[in-house]
A and B are shown apart, each in its own frame.
Chain A
């Protein structure tokens, strides 16, 4: 089989694409330059006394930019449709677009449904009023769908992400598979890495690691930060001093030093990450318990069964999470028994648990500071005074009066923080900490690829661009959310 080129038989479109993209960039630059020169609109008074304004050169260039933008979108869509239809005959991009077909369908369905019902969907629906937010959301959802479909359902990948194929070491993108049999996908779409594995499939498998860990770790960090930050801001005083000192202590640590200290095999042996997991993962349970209790404690008949069911489920999840092989901490010298293996719902891989715990640990002080600041600001509002006058308990005020009113900044920060957590995970992988070296996550892949960077850059460039696009998407999404939440 022939090696694939990047665009294959769709290369006719390349010329149009370059021209449209070039003109678009030029017109954006021109409109920026024109906007620097202040110009007054030419006004003409009509015979009937009406005023007509001429938009002038700036308006004309803006109009041109708008049309060029639509033309650009049209060319990109033409590329995409052509590639999905033609598959690998449209080159490497064609092959990739065809592989991603389930993701495209899922994205189109999500957007169609969301835009149709956007007026009924609250803040989420308002996101679809802002172009920036929509672009960000599309990129993020692209990787979420890729992670779920490729990582869990094995839909998108072309080859096994761990198997090595002889003769494919460091091969360039689009190289035909050597010794391909019937039923095998015929090419390594993004080439082979230094262990002769398919870069494209590893990229997709790696997205699952990120999509799985980053939002969950951020959520846990928020639980810790909220549960400690609200009382620190609301009560103030000595509690605030002590907690703020501890938060500043962790924040003064260089992140990488902390990772090196926490995520080494020797430290894992001592069981410290397990103790930290026991401590950090209890916060969601405390949070939910206080949340429900403070709301429903006046109706014991509802509160008691509700708490029993919710805490039972959460407690089981908690114990399953922290115990593996029937023990919470199992070092060579002693062990603390946990949930018996029969009842243990799932086991988290040791490496992933350590990474998860340290990422939560690093993120929670920042969340604590944000929540504390918001609580300090909001506790002076009239509705808080009203609730105090009504005789509501302090936890009710914190969780049901202050927290809902702080949701705007917190949601925006949540998106940004997922991006930051993704960067942290990449950093861990880049230094070869935590996850095992054959793990397909993007940081480890960049680390493996960087040694041969100037000779075979494709193995490191592909995950680098993937990580860049995901974090960029999250940042754009946060920007869109901020704009829309400021509007109301």
Chain B
């Protein structure tokens, strides 16, 4: 088991390194750098001004050197201008010579400086990640139990009316991407002119103008049911259908097993069969699916945070990518790649522990 985890960790590290290098390469292509120089300097820069701006800031070094500097395994660039000003990757202008560090990269814990937010990348990512963590936690709390309930109810009697209706429901939710369901929810539940909110307000059933708030910006500081439920529901619905279908398939398979038949013949109550005998074995497969679904939630998070204007990690990704904020974008991709790889690892290890039939020597 130990060797298995070590090997997986090695592959993970290699994958993360390759992916960050791809992101690094794509963001450091010349047209992107030119755009960066023009947005940071001014838009009417001449070509010479652009290349001297980029050259001074170490952007024109060879790609592997820049990548090494970002990682912190190569000494950072130092530029000495004609007028004697000295500045570098690791220190600002005017730092005394003995206080200038040579290496500064992610190994040293320095994630760089965001050109959009004018702030330290590490701090920016952490605050946004905390906000998205809150969203994800709510999503998981809503999505996982409801998906499991739907899946177990559908799978315990395969082919029944209940199974048919719940399966149709799961298919419908997997066919509704977040930007569709979000738009429909806002129009129906959170518009003061259309949908059911004006009716409810007229009857006096709700105090505010709308049933739910169509923007989750206020939920960043203070989340409550009114301003946070719609984004959570939107993400949960799309992921729910898939987990529910997997749970249903696994439950249906378990229900045809020999030991369930034995229990029925012994006269065990149907509810006891489902809860005590079938459920434990039926939940092994959904565990893997839930873990593998988490990276997919990341996509939903980006869409929903844009749609509901919730300034979390997904919103940060959009901002970093559309402004070609290189170091922020790299940090964002490192975080998301690590999330993907760690969830894969957990799902593999968890599967081995949960399923006694699988042993890795």
Residues in A lying within 8 Å of B, measured CB to CB: 28, 31-32, 35-36, 38, 62, 245, 248-249, 252-257, 260-262, 264, 266-267, 269-270, 272, 419, 423, 426-427, 430-431, 443, 446, 449-450, 453-455, 457, 460-461, 464-465, 467-468, 471-472, 474-476, 479
Residues in A whose Cβ lies below 8 Å from that of B341: 252
> Is A35 touching B157 in the complex (CB atoms < 8 A)?
yes
Nearest 10 interchain pairs by C-beta:
A260-B321, A457-B187, A266-B31, A472-B175, A454-B191, A471-B175, A464-B180, A269-B31, A423-B177, A252-B340
User: 5 A-B residue contacts at CB 8 Å?
Assistant: A266-B324, A267-B31, A426-B179, A454-B187, A479-B171
**The one of A36, A453, A474 that contacts B187, using a Cβ cutoff of 8 Å:** A453
Closest to B29 in A: A270
Contacts of A249 in B (CB 8 A): 15, 18-19
Identify 13 new A-B residue pairs, CB closer than 8 A, beyond the known A257-B317, A465-B184, A475-B175.
A35-B157, A249-B19, A254-B299, A254-B340, A256-B303, A264-B321, A270-B31, A431-B306, A443-B179, A453-B183, A454-B191, A455-B191, A472-B172
CB distance from A236 to the nearest CB of B (A): 17
Given A257-B317, A475-B171, A457 and B31 contact (CB-CB distance below 8 Å): no
A431 to B298 alpha-carbon distance, docked (Å): 15
One of B52-60, B117-125, B329-337 at the interface: B329-337
Task: Name the distance in Å between A313's Cβ and chain B's nearest Cβ.
Answer: 35
Smallest CB separation, A83 vs chain B (Å): 24
Is the CB–CB distance between B32 and A267 below 8 Å? yes
Assuming A260-B322, A261-B27, A430-B303, is B190 touching A32 (CB within 8 A)? no
Return chain A residues, CB-CB under 8 Å to B318.
256, 260, 431
User: Which residues of the partner chain B approach A256 to less than 8 Å between Cβ atoms?
Assistant: 299, 302-303, 317-318
B40, CB-defined interface residue at 8 Å? no
Q: Given B160, B194, B298, which contacts A254 in the complex, CB threshold below 8 Å? A: B298
* Cα of A63 to Cα of B303 in the assembled complex, Å: 44
Residue in A closest to B324 when the chains form the complex, CB atoms: A266
**Contact residues in B for A472 (Cβ distance below 8 Å):** 171-172, 175-176
Most A-side CB within 10 Å, residue of B31, B32, B180, B295 = B180
A261 to B320, CA, bound (A): 11
Q: Is the CB of A453 within 8 A of B174?
A: no
Instruction: Give the residue among B23, B160, B175, B195 with the most A Cβ atoms within 10 A.
Output: B175
Residues of A within 8 A of B32 (CB): 264, 266-267
CB distance from A29 to the nearest CB of B (A): 9
Interface residues of B in 150-177 (CB under 8 A from A): 157, 160-162, 165, 171-172, 174-177
Flag if B336 contacts A257 (CB, 8 Å): yes
Contacts of B193 in A (CB 8 A): 454-455
- Whole-angstrom distance from the CB of B146 to the nearest CB of chain A? 17
CB distance from A472 to the nearest CB of B (A): 4
Q: Do A253 and B337 form a contact, CB below 8 Å, given A419-B175, A476-B171?
A: yes
| Interface presence of B307 (CB below 8 A) | yes
> Are A460 and B175 interface neighbours, CB within 8 A?
no
CA separation between A430 and B303, bound complex, in Å?
8
- Beta-carbon contact of B194 and A457 below 8 Å: yes
Is residue B192 within 8 Å, beta carbon to beta carbon, of the partner chain? Answer: yes
What is the chain B residue whose CB lies nearest that of A331?
A: B31
Taking chain A's interface residues, is the majority helix, strand, or loop, or is none over half, making it mixed? Answer: helix
Once the chains bind, are B19 and A457 in contact (CB under 8 Å)?
no
**What is the CA–CA distance of A260 and B194 in the complex, to the nearest angstrom?**
34
> Please, how many angstroms separate the alpha-carbon atoms of A443 and B161 in the complex?
35
A424 to B286, CA, bound (A): 25
A35 with B336: CB separation less than 8 A: no
A261 with B186, Cβ < 8 A, contacts A266-B29, A431-B318 known: no
Residues of B within 8 A of A426 (CB): 177, 179-180
Chain B residues near A245 (CB-CB < 8 A): 11, 15
Partner of A257, one of B177, B195, B321: B321
In whole angstroms, how far apart are the Cα atoms of A114 and B318 in the complex? Answer: 47
Instruction: Find chain B residues with CB under 8 A from A431 CB.
Output: 306, 318
Of the candidates A28, A255, A267, A454, the one whose C-beta lies within 8 Å of that of B186 is A454
> Which of B26, B270, B306 is in CB contact (< 8 Å) with A261?
B26
- Cβ-neighbour of A252 out of B19, B35, B183, B190 (below 8 A): B19
The listed residue (A35, A457, A467, A475) touching B191 by CB distance below 8 A is A457
B239 is an interface residue with CB less than 8 A from chain A: no
Closest chain B residue, CB of each to CB of A466: B180
A465–B176 alpha-carbon span in the complex (Å): 9
Cross-chain contact of B183 among A62, A461, A474, A475 (Cβ < 8 A): A461
Cα-based distance from A35 to B158 in the complex (angstroms):
12
Residues of A within 8 Å of B176, CB to CB, are 468, 471-472
The one of A36, A261, A446, A475 in contact with B179, judged by C-beta atoms closer than 8 angstroms, is A446
Known A-B contacts A256-B317, A257-B317, A270-B31; the reply to A468 vs B191 at CB < 8 A is no
The residues of A that contact B35 with a CB separation of less than 8 Å are 266
Residues of B within 8 A of A264 (CB): 32, 321-322, 324
Q: For residue B175, which residues in chain A have a CB less than 8 angstroms away from its CB?
A: 419, 468, 471-472, 474-475
Q: How far is the CB of A285 from chain B (nearest CB, A)?
A: 27
Contact of B303 among A419, A427, A457, A467 (CB under 8 A): A427
Q: Are A468 and B180 in contact (CB under 8 A)?
A: yes
| In the assembled complex, B30 has its CB within 8 A of some CB on chain A | yes
A455 to B193, CA, bound (A): 6
Contacts of B312 in A (CB 8 A): none
Contact (Cβ within 8 A) A475 B270: no
Q: Which residues of B contact A453 (CB under 8 A)?
A: 183, 186-187, 191, 214
Q: Contact: A460 with B187, CB < 8 Å?
A: yes
* Complex Cα spacing A272 to B337, Å: 23
CB of A457 within 8 A of CB of B180, answer no
- A446/B162 contact (C-beta < 8 A), A267-B31, A453-B191 known: no
Q: Which residues of the partner chain B approach A31 to less than 8 Å between Cβ atoms? A: 161
What is the distance, in angstroms, from B13's C-beta to the closest C-beta of chain A? 12
